[in-house]
Every structure is written in C-alpha cells, then in structure tokens.
Amino acid sequence: MKWLHKDLLDVSQLSRSEVMAIFETAGRFQELQERPVKKVPTLKGRSVILFFAEPSTRTKTSFDVAGKRLSADTFSLAKSSSSLTKGESLKDTALTLQAMAPDAIVIRHWCSGAARFLADRLECSVINAGDGRHAHPTQALLDAFTLHQEWGDLAGKTVLILGDIAHSRVARSNVILLNKLGARVRICGPRTLLPPAVRTWNAKIFSNLDEAVKGVDAVMCLRLQLERQKQGLLPDLREYARTFGLARRHVDLANQDVRILHPGPLNRGVEISSELADCADSLILDQVSSGVVVRMALLFLYMTRKGEE
Ligand code: CP
C-alpha cells in the first residue's frame, strides 16, 4: 500500500484498510523478534527524534527499540533535560529539532493538540505518542493488534473499557478504533470519572461493573490518573478498588476465555487485582511486545511514505 499520511495524530485519520496494512506490516516484523540478531537495514540513514515532555516507559522505549531494530538513528529528548525548562516555547523547541533534519519526531506532551500543533509547522512526520487527554493512537493500534492476534477479526466482539475514562487518551483512541474494526464497546467507571462527551461516543455506558462485564470478550482496565485529578474526584481509593477494580468474580461473569488488557503502568490492587494482572488470560505483556512491532510498522510506513496527504 502506498502510504499517504505525513503524520499520525489519531486513529480517526486512518481507514480500516490502512489499519489492516499496519497490522500486516507489524505481523511481518514479528518474525524478526524471534531471531538472534533482531536488526534489519530498512531505515538505515534515517533519523527519528523521541521528544517526551511527559514520563513514559513503554511508549518511549518501544519506539526507541523499534527504530534501532530498523537501523534508524534515534535521539531522545526529555522535558527535564530540554530548554523547555528554561522557558523555550513548544514552537521554538520543535523548529529547533526540525532544523536538525530528522525524518520523524515522536512527541508526548501534556497538552491536548500538541502533536497537531507540531504537525502543522514541521516538514517531517509527526507521530503522536500521547497528547493530554486527547489521543494515544499508537496505544490503540497496539491494543487492537494484540486482540487481532488472539481473535483474527474483531467484528462482533464486545470490549469493556473500565476505569478513569475522563483523563484517558487511551480510552478515547480505543473507542474510535474498536468501532472502526466492528467491535462493540462498553464503558464503565464512576460518574465523576466519565467525561461529559461520553454520551456522544459510540459506546454503551455502565455504572455497575457486575452488569458491564456480563458477556464481554475482553476487559481493558485503565490506570487511575491521580496526577491529572486537580479536584477530589474520588472519596477513597479502597472504595474505588472495591467498586471498580477488576477481580476474579467479575471475570467469572464475562465470556469464557475473556481477555484482560491494561495499557500500563498498573496500580496493582486498585484498577486490577494482582492475580488477574498475572493470570493466563492477561495480555498485558503481549501488549508490550505488540508495541514494538506496531511501532516498527508505523516508523517504516511514515518514514518511507511516498504520497501526498
Ligand atoms: N501505555 C503507556 O503509554 O505507557 P507509558 O506511559 O509507560 O509509555
């Protein structure tokens, strides 16, 4: 497929066939993970800057691993070691990075719209690695790829997204992508952690977890993002864990072979019991492995694109 997009800002930009092309490319890179030497020269001579203005373990490391396995040169910039801390604007930081002529910039930023802001100003590809509460397209792609590996077609499957929906860019991107792939989406969380716009999403909303989990094929737990909660939205963490934490009794209400996902990082014993996080039906570490090959596919497609958007 001729890749037409310059930037990846959210999954809403992608057609179903483009998502399938990403999965097909990621699937081809999976074989590389089994080899003793996990490196191919595909992106030799190309460079990608990883600009993370918020903390990250999975996304940043897997983009770094993905780039290096394709022989691209990867360069990391964190907020704490950048001139953002001296008051430099995002625009000037971005133009400075652009002047070093990278082929792509992967950005994580606390402001919704930061990736779009850069994409409108830079000639190189911009890949959104999470912007505020807005979007986390590469996470949604790796989540769907993980389920695709398990099930093949996602059409007709029911996926429950559980927890802190209000602060979650992962939830927003996943609702869009799961719908695009024909899955039915359910949302469950305390009313204080549901955004007002949730009623406009193509998802069935529940406030009772026992009801929400009945007959689902997968549960995607979300991290409670306490760092983004300015006002007290939860009276008590233990109460939250009792009411909305995924436990064995919930899994018994779901379909047989229910799959358990979590984008990480986990608050064990809060949004998910430790036993479930580590159980045989948990795909949490498969999601991390998928993250490497999906990001390899994205770097490959965006950094070798030929078309005009
Ligand atoms: N899921 C996710 O984005 O994890 P990191 O914050 O560790 O990158």
- Nearest ligand 1 atom to the CA of 54 is 6
The span from the CA of 100 to the CA of 91, in Å, is 15
- Among 27-36, 180-189, 225-234, which stretch is predicted with the lowest mean pLDDT? 225-234
CATH number belonging to the domain at 137-287, selected among 3.40.50.1370, 3.30.470.10, 3.50.50.60, 3.30.2320.30:
3.40.50.1370
Distance from C-alpha of 300 to C-alpha of 210, rounded to nearest angstrom: 42
Q: Greater confidence, 225 or 228? A: 225
pLDDT in tens, 229-278: 666 667 678 889 999 999 999 999 999 999 999 999 999 999 999 999 99
Q: Which of 50, 54, 58, 283 to mutate to test the pocket of ligand 1 (most atoms within 8 A of CB)?
A: 58
Q: Say if residue 147's pLDDT is above 90.
A: yes
In the block, residue with structure tokens 């992508």: 177
- Homologous superfamily of the 11-135+291-303 domain (CATH): Aspartate/ornithine carbamoyltransferase (3.40.50.1370)
Q: Which atom of ligand 1 is nearest to the CA of 59?
A: 8
How would residue 306 be classed by pLDDT, with cut points 50, 70 and 90?
Answer: confident
Give the pLDDT confidence score for residue 232 in this predicted structure: 63
Distance 55 CA to ligand 1 centre (A): 8
Pocket of ligand 1 (CB under 6 A): 56-59, 130, 139, 263-265
Mean pLDDT of 173-201: 96
- Closest C-alpha residue for ligand 1 atom 3: 59
pLDDT higher than 60, residue 291? yes
- pLDDT tens readout for residues 207-224: 999 999 999 999 999 999
DSSP state of 59: H
Question: What is the C-alpha separation between 307 and 305, in angstroms, rounded?
Answer: 6
- As a whole number, mean pLDDT of residues 14-25 equals 98
pLDDT value of position 218: 98
CA-nearest residue, atom 5 of ligand 1: 56
**CA 263, CA 58: separation in Å to the nearest integer?**
9
CA distances from 37 to 26, 28, 32, 52 (A): 18, 16, 8, 28
Mean pLDDT on 57-70: 98
Atom of ligand 1 nearest to the CA of 129: 3
| pLDDT number for residue 146 | 98
Average pLDDT in the chain: 94
Q: What is the pTM of this model?
A: 0.95
Q: Where does CATH 3.40.50.1370 sit in the chain?
A: 11-135+291-303, 137-287
> Which pLDDT does position 270 carry in this prediction?
93
Work out whether strand 104-109 and strand 73-78 pair parallel, antiparallel, or are unpaired: unpaired
- Among 8-17, 18-27, 76-85, 157-166, the range scoring the smallest mean pLDDT is 76-85
